[in-house]
Every structure is written in structure tokens, then in C-alpha cells.
Structure 1
Amino acid sequence: MDLVELLQQAQRLANDTKMEMEMGVERTMSQVLQATQELHSRVTQTGTNDLQAHILLGSKGVDLPKLTQKLETLSARQSFEPLDPVTDTDVQGYLKNERENAILSVIDETNRSIFESVERQKWRCIYAEWGEEKESLLNALVGPGQQDFPDVQRHMVPTAMADEPTPYSRMNVIQQLYAKQITAYNESVINGSQRNNLVSTFAHLSHDSFDDSLVTEMWNVLEFMTAVTPLSRNIDPIKSRQTAPQFIQQARTYLERRYKTYMNKVIEQNLVLARRGGIPNVYNVVGSYVGVTFQQPQSLYGLHDVSNGRPLWPLIYYSLRSGDLGAAVQYLKESGVCPDLLKLMTLQKMGDTDTSTAKIEGQLKLEYNNKLHVCTDPYKKAVYVIVLACDPHDSHAELMRSIDDFLWMQLSILRGQEKRDYNIEQLTYAGLQSLILDKYGENYFNAREKTPLYFQVLALTGQFEAAIEFLARTETNRPHAVHMAIALNELSMLGAPSSVKQPLLSSEPDDPSPMKRLNLVRLIVMYAKCFEQSDTEQALQYYYLLRHFKSEDGSNAMLSCVCDLLVENCDDRMLELIFGVEDEFNSFRFTGGIFAEFHTMDYDKYSLAGMVGDELSKRSNYESAIKLYFIAGQLDKALRLVCSLLSQVVHQQSRPGSMRERLCGVTKRLDAALAERKTDVEAHVIVTYTVLSQVMEFFDFHHAGESRLASEILANNRLIPANSYEVDECVTNLKRMGPEIIKVLPDILLAAMDIVYGEYVSQRGTSGSGSVFGDETKSENKEAVLRQLRARAKALTNMAASVPYRMPSTTNQRLVQLEILMH
């Protein structure tokens, strides 16, 4: 570099320095202090943590910027974020998703199991702590000592309990009152005396003893509806009810009588306005009632044929509403209007149904459709609808002030199938029933809160079964529903299903819609099950009402119910209560017992005992079944069960309270019974029982150490061989015996081998030293005895091998082992 260049470079540096000095910013001390404070605040607010992190990680050799870059490269997607969907052809994506799904499911399952385990451990610890706390609190409740309260004298309060306490009745007062009437009714049936009408009996009971007007009203409705001509017991109640017009007439009459009562109450409350007088008949009652109801001039607005402040058509309508067609005819005749209607009503009153009536009806229906259909007088329109039985869709809202009014109107316009005019739409009995039960239903009538009202509506439309089923849903009304069903069934007015296994409410394919059938068996069983343990006698009275019902297999419903009762509770107290006590002169005769009152030609208590015994035998309750078979006099079945039980316990030692000890008492009773009725039992059963009895005696001697007596029993019964020549004979005899003997044979062989081995050890011990006796002849005799014992042991092992039944391996091993020890 020459001097020129060096000079130029120095000038440039000088110029740069000068420019920087010229661009410098001069600040005062206050400005510098303010800038310093702002810089310090920014650093302390945002950068302190980063600086400290840099300093801390830098001191440990960690490069924080590089670590931050690595963290940013990681996926930010959450671990349990749903996987991206892949197409069906993307195999790699599908496999990747499946792998990730598997991993996620394992993680999720592990997380759930850990959470559940921790939760269980937490509650276990909490319960343990609670238990310790309760224990400490109970320990702290120890009563004070006498020294703490020296002036307090403790007195013991004696408690008296009955020697034989009776269970507390589960029947309330209403149920007990009903049960008394059922018992009295059953007694009259059994004695053959005249039966009372249960509906009337229960209706009077509710009126006299129940402090519930709603229940009394329900019984009154049912009593009134059943007060018809007795129906044939050979005709199905459902079909006869649908075709019998008297049920419709009864419902109308009941509603009309109730409305007359209501009108009289209104008149009595307004005697001045009613101006009551004259003969006390419906004609004058209706006149007085209309005078009270239409006293204001505005109440006559829109009404036709008003004379002297008395509207005509309300008089006619309320006469019909009260059930007096004659009063309606009289009012219409006095007015002098509508001669055709007067003629038709007169013919209906006289009961004339000839062709002239049909002609007048046609003319009046035409007049109604042309003019009166839009009439402003609701009473006149209602009278035409009632007389002509037409226009069922008109609600008559102006006149319907209660459910009774609506139901009476519907019943008044009914037409039977044989009187229907198919040219116009008319309402039938089945149509009204469907309207009440299906279309309107429980919600429309607010049945849950107004149960008696809905029951009355169903009963008045002839739907007894549906009404009783609805009433039986609540526990409070169930006793009334059960006895209503019983009373109707005794009058042959209750529709029952073809099978006793049907639901509580069902219908048959041939039944007219919407009629239902009520399963009385299921209803009574459901009701009596609640108290059959505490009030068994009353429960049997209800089961007696089911004596005419049969199940699919032909069994009697009453016997089935009592059988179930005894199967569930078959103790000595219940058996004595049902069947009585054993006659001291005849062991097969039982006197007393509740069921003795219910005997008929079809069954008695002995057939019931056999039925219960069979059911107990099916359930493997053999000991109780034996008791029932003995009551029934069925010794053959009792002996079979005794043999089966003896084969299981005959080889055991007798202990107090064991089955073997209980069977000893049974065998003594059976031995006494067989002495009188041995011919009633099959021969092979007697043989099996006799052999087992001998085997039981054999084991008693064996366990008592009486080997000689035990051996004599085996020898007398030829059960085991004395030598090898008798093996075939014993095996042949064994084949003729029952399986119960085969079952106990291994124990017999082992016991016999133990007896032989014991005798062998005894003989061997006495013959061990000949010097003691000094007699060679005696030694030879004892050797012969030992050989005989060995021969007996050999015969036992041969028999075990020759029996065509599979012997237990332990039995064969024990027999062979003892035989080897004898050589």
C-alpha cells in the first residue's frame, strides 16, 4: 500500500467518525433514568424466566436454543385425538391406523383399570377407617359403673314370652273382613246350603264396615251391573255379555237414578225457586229442576219453544236423562209441536218396533240432517239424537257437564248389531267400549288420581275384566279387585282365559274387540302368597275357590297352589296344620287338619299328600317326601326313597342328629307299617329294603366291635362268600338285587375284610410261640384256622374282581393289601 492510498483510507475513517458523532442523540439525566426503568421493567416481566433458564441449563451443559428447536419438531397432535380417515385402498395408512388404534386401546384400558383399582383401594380404605371409627364409638358407649352413680338403683324388667308364639298376621283389617266372608261362603258351599250373592255381600260389607265412600260406590256400581237375569254357565261370559242388552240398560238405569238424586238435591237447596208441588214423580221433579236452572232470562237465549219462561226441550231432555220416557212424551204432547217425534216416542214407550216405526225414523233423520244438525237449541238436538240413535260424533259440549252425562249420552244412542242401519254411521256396544278403553284410555280420565271414576266407567260399559285389572295394580285397591273378581266368577260373569298360565289380562283370538280376559288363578295366587305363611287357613280358603280350574296337564289349580305352599314350607307344624295328626289306632289315617274340610269326590288330603311327595321327590327333598308318602299311604314310593337314602349312609357311624339316625326312626315306622300292608309293595322293593336294614345292623355291630355278630349277619344274607367256591353264587345273588345294594357293596367288602384281618392278627398273635402251649395238635388247628382266614380273604378279593360293576380303585387296593399282609 502506498502513501496515497493510506491517506485516502484515513480520510474515510475520519469522515465516518464525524458522521457518527453528528448523528448521536443527547439525553438529559431524567430521560436516561426513565429509559433505564422501562428497560428494567420489560426485562423483569418477560425475560427473567428465560434468562434464569438459560443460566441454569447452561451451567449444566445444556444448549437451550437447540433443545427448543428439537421440541418444536415434535408432533403437536394430542395422544387421544381421533385418527385421520384413510381410504379403503390405502393399505399402509390402514395398517398404521390399526397399529395406533391398538396402542391407544391398550393405553385407555390400562388407564381405566388403574383408575378402577385406585377407586376400589380408596373405598376399601375409607370403609376400614369407618369401621375403626364405629368400633371406637361403640367401645366408648359402655355403660357407666355403679360407683359412678351410687344413688341409682338398677331394676331388672322381666320379659314374658309365650311358650308357643304365633306369627304376626300379615293381613290388614280390610283383608280380614273379606276373608271372613270368603270362609262363610265356602262353608255354605261345602255344606250344600244356599249360596249367597257375593257381590251383594261385599257391597253391604263395604257400606257397613269400610269408612270409604269411593270403595262403597264402586261396589254399588258392580252390584247394580250384575243384577240381571242369571246367565247360563255353559255360555262364555264375554260373548253372552256382548249380546245381552240388559247390561246396557242396567248402566243407563244406574246413571239415570244417580241423576235423579242430583236433581232432588238441587231442588232441596232452592225450594223457593223450585216451587215444588203436586205428585212426587219425574214429571214434577224435572219441571222444578228446569225452573231452578233457567230462572235467568239470559239462560233462555237460543232455546226453541219457550212458553211462560219454561223451555220445552230442556224439559224433554231432562225427562229422558232421568229415564222417564213417559214424562218426556207428556211434555211434548202438551206443547203440540213435532207430531212425528211424538208418535215415534209414543211407539217406543209402548215397545212397538214394526215397519211404521222405521218409516217415521227415516223421515225424522232426514229432517235432522237437513235442519236440526245446526240447530241453536242444544237440548232439541240432543233429544233428536237420543230418540233416533244417530250422529255419534256430535259431542254435545253444552250439555256434557260430567263423565256421567257423556257416558249416558253414548249409552242412549247405542244400536245392536241386529238393529243397525248401515246407511248411516251408528255407535255399537263394542264401539263404545273401544272408545273408552283404547281411544280415551287412562290418561284422558286421569285414572291414576281418579281410580274409582275410571273403574266405574269401565264397569258401566261392561268391561269388568279391564276394570278389575286396573284396580289390582295398586296395593291399596288390590283386596277390592281380588274379591270383585271372585264374586263375578261365582256368578259366572267373569271372562277367564283358556290357560291358567296366561298373563293377568289377555284376550283370545275369537274374542270381540276390545274385550279382555282376567286370569283369576294368577290374581288369587298373587294375593294369597303375601299371607299364606302367617295365615295359612285363610290362604287355603282362597285356594278352594280355584277348585274348578285346570292347567294344561290336567292338574287341579287348587291342589297345585296348596302343593306349592307345602313344598316351600314342609315342616312338622305345617303338615299337622294341613293334614292333622296320626290316628293312634290306624297309622295310615290322619284326623283333623284344615284340608279335611275341602274334600270332594275328585281329591282329598291323601291325594294331596301324594302330589306333594312327588314334587318333593323331584326336588331331591327325600326326607320330607317320605313323610308325605307315609301320610298318603303310598308305602311303595316311601320304601324306594328310604332305600335310596340308606344306600348313602348305611356304612357310616350313627351320630346324634345325622341322617342315619333319622332314618333309623323311619325304618322302625316302616317295619310296623309293612306288617299291616305288605301286599301294597312290590317284592323286589321289600327285598332291597330288608337287605339294607340287615346291612345297617351289620355296620352297627362292626362299628361297635362286635365282629362275631356282624359276621353272622353277612353269612345269613349270603352277601359275601366264605370261600372261593361261593363267589359265583354270591355274584349271582347280587345281580338279582337292586342298585342300592351294589352301591354299598364296596363298603361291605372292606368291612368284611377288616373283620377277617382282625381275626387273623388275633390268631397269629396267640400262635406266635408254640412253647407256651406245648401242644403240636393245637398248633396245627390254629394253622388251619389261619388258612381258612386266608381263604376267606382270597374269596373277598375274587368277588371284588368278579362283580360285573366297576369297583373303586381304592377298594381293590385296600383288599389286596390286607390279603397280602395275611401271608
Structure 2
Amino acid sequence: MDLVELLQQAQRLTNETKMDTEMPRVERTISQVLQATQELHSRVTQTGTNDLQAHILLGSKGVDLPILSQKLESLSARKSFEPLDPVTDTDVQGYLKNERENAILSVIEETNRSIFEAVERQKWRCVYAEWGEEKEVLLNALVGPRPGIFPELQRQTVRTTMADNPQPYSRLLDDIQKQYAERIKAYNEANIQGTHRENLVATFAKLSEKFDDEHVQEMWGVLEYMADVTPMVRSTDPIHTRQTAPQFVQQARTYLERRYKTYMNSVVQKNLLVAARGGVPNTYNLVSSYVGVNFYQPRSLVGLEDISEGKPLWPLIYYSLRSGDLGAAIQFLKEAGVCPDLLKLMMLQKRGDTETPTSKIETSLKLDYNNKLRICNDPYKKAVFAIVLTCDPHDGHVELMRTIDDFLWLQLSILRLNENRHYDIEQLTYPGLQSLILDKYGENYFNAREKAPLYFQVLALTGQFESAIEFLSRTEANRAHAVHMAIALNELCMLGTPSSVQAPLLSCEPDDPAPMKRLNLVRLIVMYAKCFELTDTAQALQYYYLLRNFKDPKGGNVMLNCVCDLLVENSDDQMLALVFGHEDQTDPGHLFGGIFSEFTNLDCDQYTLAGKVGDELAERSNFESAIRLYFIAGQLDKALRLACSLISQVVHQQQRPGSLRERLCDVITRLDRALAVRKTDLESHILTTYTMLTQLMRFFNLVHAGQPRLASDVLAKNRLIPANTAEVDECVGNLKRMGPDIIRVLPDVMLAAMDIIYDEYVKTKGNARQASEYEEEASNEALEAILRHLRGRAKALTNMAASVPYRMPNQTNQRLVQLEILMH
């Protein structure tokens, strides 16, 4: 190769290495190229040396380094850290699932957190309430400071409306309540005598005419009309009977129809010239005249159909139905000659024909109603079809609803009484109407607070007597009427009452149909009679007599419980004489007069009642009043037990005027007089205890009167305290046979006896000194014998205190020993 070819190749290589960039080319000199070559050579030589050393080292161990290098190069970590199955970039289903689970978890977490916070708040609210009650109890229990603690405190009198001496809440009956009470008393007397009892609903309705209150008369009128149905018996449940019997629905409709008929008459009488009333006075002519008055102006006929001689047909039919005359409606429809199917159905309904099938006619008319009449401009025609077919309860027919009576009558007219016809989806049932009035609309819709009579009438006309009476009883002005309405309905077996007399005023049983409630007549009468049982006790007992057939959870008579509670709270002599009468002086133990003796047809008499009241008073630790009641009941054994308990508490006290001890003296006198007549049916140990306590009472009376010798004779006669040490065992044996009431007073008796002995000892010893100084002839030996006898009696007392099988008080033992020591 010559130099020319070598130059061409070099130029070619130079051209191939040129780059289309703006970077400048690097030009090196020969010295720089030589230097770079040497550095590269040195690095290659060094790496080769290391590889040679590695070959020598691994070869000595039997490892072939080139083969090892090839194996290491063939290894790849890529497949070990990559998923086996390919994962798509967009997984919509997995994303939605994840989001759904996150949403559920977030809702659960939020709910848990809110529940926890609510429980925490409720817990602290209850804790604060309990703390508040405890603080109030503690503050009420604190005793006020003594006057000397805050001497600089200036007290200021604050005026108050509260009475200084508060009296139990009781008031006199007003005029209306007195008139009601007189009728109740007459009704009870007729019941006791077994004569014919009057209808209380009719009696009270007639009585309401004297109250000069139009609203009260209307309420009683509604109740009287609704109660004028077939009499019921007590064996049936009034609630279930009322829900299944169609007569209550019919009574409500008839009442509203008669009232509207009266209204139409009044309108016609005010417009006789326009009404042009004539012919036979019947519903047909009345409706014709009424429609003529209402549609006298031509503009009132706009939108109405089938107008003949200036009178629209469908208002004539509607107002005939509204006034309760189906025959008049049929006559108007016949004369018009329209809607033959509707005419046929109305004629079947008037005849009460249940055998002729009407389903085909009803289906055809309902199709016409749904397809055409729903968009009809004549509201009267649409209302007539809805009433005859008893359908479309959701249409309020607001064009025709001018009063609540109109609305209620329309709802009662479209009721579906036959519950077996389930194919009719759009139907209104009796419970449905009741729920609509009571639950959906309620008191706010009817403005019940200001229009209480109106709301009462709506509830009563829908058969909800219990809810109506309970609502009426909330106000003071209507409470008397509500109570007597409940009484009158209960006497007719038409009031639903709960199974337990302890139920709330308004409640419901588990098997009661919604929304029916039960009225607790017992609670209502007791709340009413409590207001005047102290001022008019005789009238209150007449009301309690109405509860004689009710039983409490223990099976007791509710009437007796009420009278018992009255006497427990007010057991003074005047009240006892009023209820039980006075004792016959010629026949002790027999009472004459008294209010309770008038109720002769009860299972118990006044003596049984007195025993019941006495037991209740004894349980409340009112022993004095209980003893008086046991005297009336003739239960001397119980009177003796309580008398012994009371005497043992005060027998050692000094008698003061008006004290319990003084009052017990009268009780003892009366008991002694009664025991003189009979003792045979009394337990011996009770009689023994009573006799011993009366003797001890006489003993302490003598001690306090300053007659120690007579007092000592009383103890010696009853062998309660030993006269010497030989009688200790005998007296201890006597104590074992006596009751605990004697043991309770034994320490006081022993202290009193020891004081008598010590005083006599001191007096005798003083006489001995006087005798030795002034009367030299007196015998000191006789006085010393008396002193020895007194010391023996004191020793017997201390021995008895140590021998009795009862724990004597330490102070008693110390006092006895101290006085005995002072005698030596």
C-alpha cells in the first residue's frame, strides 16, 4: 500500500467520524495521544494482573473461572421479581370493588364513632343528673346554722304566696260537680237496692242541658248517639267488639247526616223565596230546595254536568246522600235517566241485597271512574261515584269539604267494612280512618288546645272513646265531664280498660288493634276524687264504690284500697266517725251510722275494712291510730299487741298533759272495759304481758307521785323483783315466760326499785343517828336489822341483773353496783 492510498483511507475515516452537531471537534497532538495510550495500557495491564491472580487462586481450589463467569452471566433476576400473570393497566371492576369496600368501612367507622359519642354524652348526662339529685338530697338534709354562728347576719322577711301552715290539697265541689255527684249517688243507691238502673249516658246528656254550655251539650249529644247501640256484656272486650261491629260506623254517619239535614233546613228557612219549597215535607223536596238556593246564580253552574231546569243533577244526588236518604238519590237519578249501572247498584244497596253479584257492575263503574271521572270537572259527580263504589280514599274532594263534618262523613261513607275483599287495593278501613285522625292529623291539625270540643267529637265519632276522654281530662274545665263520660261508658260495658289497674292513664295491650288505646278508669276516678275526699268524703266514697269490680295485682278490691288509703292518711276521730259511725252504748262493739254501712252489697263490711286499715297503719308504725281501728274491727288481740309495744316505750316516763303516756291511759281504760266482756279468744302470753305492763305503769305512777312504799308493794305483789337473794331464781324464771316488752322495761324497773331501796336506806340510817342522839331508849339493833334487810334487797337486785339471760345496759349495771356499795 503506498502513501497515497493510506492518505485516502485516513480522509475517508475522518469523514465518517464527523457528527452533525454544533459541538466543536477535539484535536489532540501526538504527545497527548501518546500520553492517553500509556494510561490506557497501564489500566489494562493492572486488570489483567488481577484476573491472573484470581485464576491462580480459584484454580488451586479446583474452580474453573471462565465456566463460572459464563454461569453467572446466564443468571437473571428479572423473572424472580416480576408477576407471573400480566396485570392490565386499567382494572375497572377491581377499582369499583375497592371503592365500595372503602365506602362501607368508612360508614361503619363513622357510625361507630357517632354511637360511641352519643353513648358517652348520655352517660355523662345521667351521671350529672344523679349527682344533681344527690347534691339536692344532701343540701335538703343539712341542718340550718344556730343563731349564734352568724350574729352579724341580717335576716330579711321575704313575702310568699305559700301558706304558713299548708293544708292537704282539697276543695269543695262546684255546682256542676255537685249535680254529677247527686246522679252518681242516686245511681249507686239503685244498684244497692237492686232496682232498675238508668242509662248514665242519657242521664248525663239530659243533665248537660242545665249547664248553659253549648259545647258540653254537643259532646254529650255525640256520646249519647254513639252509645245508642246494642247493649254489650262484660264478658266481651269492648275494643275488639267496637272494631268489628259496623254499627258504630253507621251511628257516626247517621249522626252527621241528621246534623247536616238540620243545617239544610235552617238554610232553606232563611231563603224561602229562593228555595220555593213545596210539596210533601221530605228529604227529596228539602234537597231540591237547598240546591236551588246554593245554585241560584248562573255562574255557580259552571263546570257541572247534567243540568236540568236550572238544577244540576249530581249536587242533588250528593246532598241526598249527605242527608242520609239513598231513596231520594235514586229518585233523582231515575228522573235524569243517566248512568243505568250506577242506578242499579244503588238500588241493590238500598234493598240490602247481598245475594245478587255486583262485582261486574262495580268493576265496570270503577273503570269508568278511573278513565273518565278522575279528570271530570264536576266534583259532585266524582264524589257520588266514590261514595257508592267506596273507592279512591286518596282523593280529598276538597271542593266539597267546607267543614270537618263533611270530611268525616265522606271518610265514613267510603269505608270498606268487608275485610275479605282484598282485591280492592284502594280501600279505607276503620282502623285506617282512626289512625288518620289520631296519628297523621293529630291535635295540632285540629288546633285541639283551643277547640277541645271539636277534637273530642271527631275522636268519638271514629270510635276512639278512650283517647277522646283522656284528651278531655287534661284541662281543668273539662275534667269533670271527662270523668263522668268514662263512668257512663264503663257502666254500659263500652269502655276499654287495661288489665292492670297500675297501668298509665292511656295505654294499649299487645293484642289491641292499632291505634286503639285503653283508659285506666281507676286512675282517672282516683285522681278526680282525691281533690275533694277530705271536704266531701261522702261523695268521694260514692265514686270509689264504682270501682268495686276492679282488682289490684294482689287480688284485692280496689274500692277497699281507695277507702283504706283515705283512712290511713286521715285517721282522726272525726273521719273514723264519718266513715264507720258511732259505737252503740247499749251494745259495745256494735257501730251504727257511718257512710260505709250504706254499701250493703259488698263482699266485706265495715269491720273488715277497719281491720284492713288497722293492718296498714300498723305497717306504717302508726300504732295509736291502728289501735283505734282494731277496736272498731273487734280485733282485741292485735290491739293488745300494739298497746304493749307502745306502753313499753313510755311506761317509765313521767306523765305530762297531752303526752303519749297520757293518751295510752285512755287506751288502757278502754281495753280493760273490753277485756271484762271477753277474754277467751286471746292468747295467754299476750294477756299476761299486757297485765304486767299495766301494773308497771301503776308502779311508775306511784314512784313519780312520791309514794315509794305503795310502789314497792306493787312490785312485791307481781313477783317481778326479788325481795331477797332466795327469790332471784324464781323471778328470773318468771321473766323467761314473759314477752320482750317486759324485758325492754326491766332495766328501768330495777333502777327505780334500787333508788327506792337506797332512799329508804339513807332515810333509815339518818333516823338511826337521830335516835342515838335524842332518843337513848330506842333499840339500835332493830334499826340495824332493817338496814341489813335493805342491803339484802339491793344484793338480790344486783344478783338478778347478773343472772338474767339478757344483756343489761352497762349504765344500769354500774348504777346498781354503785348504789349497793354505797349501802355498806
Query: TM above 0.5, one fold?
Result: yes
Q: For residue 499 of structure 2, what is the aligned residue in structure 1?
A: 498
Q: For residue 453 of structure 1, what is the aligned residue in structure 2?
A: 454
Q: For residue 600 of structure 2, what is the aligned residue in structure 1?
A: 599
1:718 and 2:719 correspond: yes
Q: For residue 113 of structure 2, what is the aligned residue in structure 1?
A: none
2:301, 2:170 → 1: CA distance? 66
1:189 and 2:195 correspond: no
SS of structure 2 residue aligned to 1:492? coil
Shift of 1:723: 1.9
2:238, 2:628 → 1: CA distance? 43
Q: For residue 34 of structure 2, what is the aligned residue in structure 1?
A: none
Shift of 1:716: 2.1
1:683 and 2:691 correspond: no
Paired residue type of 1:200: A
Q: For residue 656 of structure 1, what is the aligned residue in structure 2?
A: 657
Shift of 1:419: 4.4
Q: In the TM superposition, what are the counterparts of 1:333-348 in structure 2 within 5 Å?
A: 333-348=334-349
1:420, 1:576 → 2: CA distance? 66
For residues 501-541 of structure 1, the C-alpha deviation after alignment (integer angstroms, 9 at most, x for no partner) is 11111111111100111111111111111111111111111
For residues 25-74 of structure 1, the C-alpha deviation after alignment (integer angstroms, 9 at most, x for no partner) is xxxxxxxxxxxxxxxxxxxxxxxxxxxxxxxxxxxxxxxxxxxxxxxxxx
Shift of 1:679: 2.3
Q: For residue 29 of structure 2, what is the aligned residue in structure 1?
A: none
TM-score norm. by structure 1 comes to 0.78
CA 1:670–1:359: 2 relative to 1, 3 Å: same
SS of structure 2 residue aligned to 1:539? helix
Q: In the TM superposition, what are the counterparts of 1:438-449 in structure 2 within 5 Å?
A: 438-449=439-450
Radius of gyration: which is bigger? Answer: 2
1:600, 1:689 → 2: CA distance? 38
Shift of 1:301: 1.6
Q: For residue 204 of structure 1, what is the aligned residue in structure 2?
A: 206
Paired residue type of 2:206: H
Q: For residue 147 of structure 1, what is the aligned residue in structure 2?
A: none
1:303, 1:729 → 2: CA distance? 116
1:550, 1:537 → 2: CA distance? 22
Q: In the TM superposition, what are the counterparts of 1:2-17 in structure 2 within 5 Å?
A: none
Preserved CA contact (<8 Å) 1:263 1:289: yes
Moved more, 483-492 or 780-789: 780-789
2:197, 2:376 → 1: CA distance? 55
Q: For residue 245 of structure 1, what is the aligned residue in structure 2?
A: 246
Q: For residue 302 of structure 2, what is the aligned residue in structure 1?
A: 301
SS of structure 1 residue aligned to 2:638? helix
**Between the two proteins, what is the percent identity of the paired residues?**
71
Preserved CA contact (<8 Å) 1:392 1:427: yes
Preserved CA contact (<8 Å) 2:287 2:319: yes
Shift of 1:336: 1.3
Q: For residue 805 of structure 2, what is the aligned residue in structure 1?
A: 804
1:593, 1:212 → 2: CA distance? 37
Preserved CA contact (<8 Å) 1:635 1:680: no
SS of structure 1 residue aligned to 2:358? helix
2:731, 2:170 → 1: CA distance? 61
Preserved CA contact (<8 Å) 2:170 2:531: no
Shift of 1:180: 1.2
Paired residue type of 2:226: M
Preserved CA contact (<8 Å) 2:544 2:559: yes
Q: In the TM superposition, what are the counterparts of 1:122-161 in structure 2 within 5 Å?
A: none
2:678, 2:504 → 1: CA distance? 46
SS of structure 2 residue aligned to 1:303? coil
Preserved CA contact (<8 Å) 1:304 1:311: yes
Shift of 1:293: 1.0
2:777, 2:803 → 1: CA distance? 41
1:731 and 2:728 correspond: no
Q: For residue 524 of structure 1, what is the aligned residue in structure 2?
A: 525
1:403 and 2:423 correspond: no
Shift of 1:651: 1.0
1:623 and 2:620 correspond: no
1:171 and 2:163 correspond: no
CA 1:563–1:131: 2 relative to 1, 3 Å: closer
1:514, 1:690 → 2: CA distance? 66
Q: For residue 589 of structure 2, what is the aligned residue in structure 1?
A: 588
Shift of 1:366: 2.2
Q: In the TM superposition, what are the counterparts of 1:693-704 in structure 2 within 5 Å?
A: 693-704=694-705
Paired residue type of 1:759: E
1:706, 1:261 → 2: CA distance? 95
Paired residue type of 1:186: N
Shift of 1:476: 0.6
2:153, 2:512 → 1: CA distance? 60
Q: For residue 350 of structure 1, what is the aligned residue in structure 2?
A: 351
Q: For residue 6 of structure 1, what is the aligned residue in structure 2?
A: none
CA 1:540–1:126: 2 relative to 1, 3 Å: farther
SS of structure 1 residue aligned to 2:680? helix
CA 1:131–1:246: 2 relative to 1, 3 Å: closer
Shift of 1:194: 0.7
For residues 315-344 of structure 1, the C-alpha deviation after alignment (integer angstroms, 9 at most, x for no partner) is 111111111111111111111111111111
Shift of 1:590: 1.0
Indicate the RMSD between aligned Cα atoms, in angstroms: 2.1
2:659, 2:155 → 1: CA distance? 44
For residues 100-141 of structure 1, the C-alpha deviation after alignment (integer angstroms, 9 at most, x for no partner) is xxxxxxxxxxxxxxxxxxxxxxxx999959779x9xxxxxxx
1:561, 1:594 → 2: CA distance? 14
Shift of 1:642: 0.5
Q: In the TM superposition, what are the counterparts of 1:805-820 in structure 2 within 5 Å?
A: 805-820=806-821
For residues 701-754 of structure 1, the C-alpha deviation after alignment (integer angstroms, 9 at most, x for no partner) is 222232222222212222112222222222222122111101100011011111
Preserved CA contact (<8 Å) 1:651 1:696: yes
CA 1:774–1:692: 2 relative to 1, 3 Å: same
CA 1:774–1:583: 2 relative to 1, 3 Å: same
Preserved CA contact (<8 Å) 1:599 1:605: no
Paired residue type of 1:781: A
1:422 and 2:444 correspond: no
Q: In the TM superposition, what are the counterparts of 1:172-571 in structure 2 within 5 Å?
A: 172-207=174-209, 209-354=210-355, 356-571=357-572
2:362, 2:709 → 1: CA distance? 111
1:684, 1:781 → 2: CA distance? 43
Shift of 1:259: 0.5
SS of structure 1 residue aligned to 2:197? coil
Shift of 1:781: 3.5
SS of structure 1 residue aligned to 2:314? helix
Paired residue type of 1:472: S
Q: For residue 632 of structure 1, what is the aligned residue in structure 2?
A: 633
Paired residue type of 1:185: Y
2:797, 2:738 → 1: CA distance? 19
For residues 373-404 of structure 1, the C-alpha deviation after alignment (integer angstroms, 9 at most, x for no partner) is 22221111111111111111010011111100
SS of structure 2 residue aligned to 1:272? helix
Preserved CA contact (<8 Å) 2:170 2:534: no
Shift of 1:310: 1.6
Shift of 1:354: 2.3
CA 1:445–1:567: 2 relative to 1, 3 Å: same
Paired residue type of 1:376: N
Preserved CA contact (<8 Å) 1:170 1:531: yes
1:730, 1:129 → 2: CA distance? 61
Shift of 1:681: 2.1
Moved over 6 A (4+): 124-127, 129-132
Q: For residue 40 of structure 1, what is the aligned residue in structure 2?
A: none
